[in-house]
Amino acid sequence: MKNIKDELQNIILGDEQTGSDSQLKKAQNFLRGNEKASISIEKQQHFKDEETTALIAFAKQGNLFYDNTIPVNDFISEGAEQKVYRFDDTHVLKTNQSIFYGSWLDYFNSLLIHNFFFPATAYTFLGFQIINDELHAVVKQEFVLSNENTDLETVKEFLEYNGFRHKKNNDYFNLEIGLIFEDLHDENVLSYNGVLYFIDTVFYLTQAFYIK
């Protein structure tokens, strides 16, 4: 577990920008530089509004806007946090407003953690779009075909084998690494021939994550 934590700390707290993650890390590094620690719930939305304004300016300057039109006819589905569109024969696009997160930094950290744990369904950050006057991230992900219902008990067994403990409902945590892993219902974890594919994940860092 220590090696996993060290690798994650390097990914989240490091400044390198390599490979397909370069755009993602570019946005995450900027947000890290504007991070505010330990703010109250009352001030959280105000901070996120300020963060969003700064992020829009940064994205314009750094050419981080996704300029391609997302056709309405390619719409597939939506959840509370995002909309899903067909991209091509093997990938989907997802637009996310980061409403599950207290900050945009938390959202990008979650993407990086997902890509570390689940490379088969890794997100590629394509840029931002303003949709209905709200900032959204646009990500690409490989389309996963499901041919059977997901057994949530199997999901629990898999996660507990890998160090995550069940908290409540479909939420888990790993005290040693310092991660909270939530919203793992059967629409966010798909099953194909007995293999689990985590397609929509929500990770949060705890203070324990930052301790070496």
Domain ranges of the chain: 2-142, 152-210
Question: Can you tell me whether residue 150 is helix, strand or coil?
Answer: coil
pTM of the model: 0.92
Measured CA to CA, the distance from residue 42 to residue 54 in angstroms comes to: 20
Q: What is the pLDDT along the chain (212 residues), one digit of tens a residue?
A: 779 999 999 999 987 665 446 899 999 999 998 775 544 445 666 789 999 999 999 999 999 999 999 999 999 999 888 999 999 999 999 999 999 999 999 999 999 999 999 999 999 999 999 999 999 999 999 999 999 999 999 999 999 999 999 999 999 999 999 999 999 999 999 999 999 999 999 999 999 999 98
Identify the burial level of 48 via C-beta atoms within 10 angstroms of its C-beta, where 0-12 means exposed, 13-18 middle and 19 or more buried: buried
Measured CA to CA, the distance from residue 2 to residue 126 in angstroms comes to: 32
Q: What is the pLDDT of residues 146-165, one digit of tens each?
A: 999 999 999 999 999 999 99
Please name the residue that has the structure tokens 């005290």.
Answer: 175
